[in-house]
Structure 1
């Protein structure tokens, strides 16, 4: 088989021309379009990556803010719960203290009422007993008994000494009016003479005397001058006894009102019978 080199050369030339034409008018625009498309895709991918990164950044920021918000919410909730518990406990403590104080006040009020009632009963009984005693002694008093009281008073008057006698003597000297001698009954002249003589012997002076009656005196007699008073009566025994009983009742009431308080012991007083021969010495006192 013979090779036609002219044909081969013509076909090779045609192929080269075809390749150049394809490259010149077909491949180059296609490659340019492909390159442009690749660039556009790369740009779009880069933009998408940037947006994705931005979105991820925003998502991270949102998640951080959300976590911070959750943390703050949990802290505020815990704080609010703690404050609510503290306030609840405070209110409960205040309510408990108020209830305890109210109960204590009620107990104190009940104890005070009971103590006041007991003290009132004791005082009423005390008053009734002494009132009955005074009435009985007043009913039993007589003129003859008053005469015995005058003799006893005169004897005690003569036995005065010391500061009591000195003070009463000064009061008698300063007196501008007659001294007053009071008794439950009207003294007869003989008994008045006894008193006047005892005053003269005791104070070595003529002392003007005015006699008067005082129903309040229970079998007794008293002498007053310039604010000074000296006397003796069964009422003195009753007053002393009544004072001692009153102090005892008051101390008992205080011990019941306040169990922890230690009341001072009431002074011991020894009551003496009206008929006892050992009557107390008359003492001068300011009226």
Structure 2
């Protein structure tokens, strides 16, 4: 819900007498968000009257949280560009990203990214928010990306990810024939010494878990490979790519982690399905993306 100022606004009906601070906490509004509301131009209203978090609300009261306008970061230049939007509402946007397009600006891809185009879309539509990427994909990984339209929505979805309530399924093609029908890779991931990009399995790294299922075995131009379905339980940088290298089956096309580009000119990785509870309604949402043409060709061998 939005007010006439177009700022993101939420309304709640109080069920029982409680401090406003406690009521808002129960609705998933963080202390950080409340601080931003207080100091950055937002408002807390009870029955259309501004109140502090120490106010006591009673059953039947209407609580309105008007969030402050968000300013795009200095390094994010709004641009016009094509976005394959599968779903959009007042809280979230689901994008189907092609391989070769960055999610956020970087040294190698300062422009033309999903974030640049979303910032341009927000500017054109007068959405008073910056871009909040909930699920990010590497430049050469294709598939689904979830974007929040507000820092509060981003917070709620991040909590779902932390609680493993956010389902992320990838289809990948790995070198060699994987024997196991199902496998679990539970290995910590950290930055490789001397590299700002590459990650490795290392015992002092962050906990990471990837569950896999073998879908099929293939052979093309003398190369043997396996299609796999992979579920992320954590979201470490390059997690699937590092875990599959550790398993001894790097992704086809992933030359950074030991794969060959003989069959495809990028890592053969596609985010095919995401599922989560809508951060405002609680409704279960599931989105799917078909394999792009370059990866479909691998299944036709």
TM-score by length of 1: 0.22
1 or 2, which has the higher helix percentage? 1
Higher relative contact order (CA 8 A, sep 6+): 1
Please report the TM-score for the alignment, with normalisation by the length of structure 2: 0.21
Of Structure 1 and Structure 2, the greater strand share is in: 2
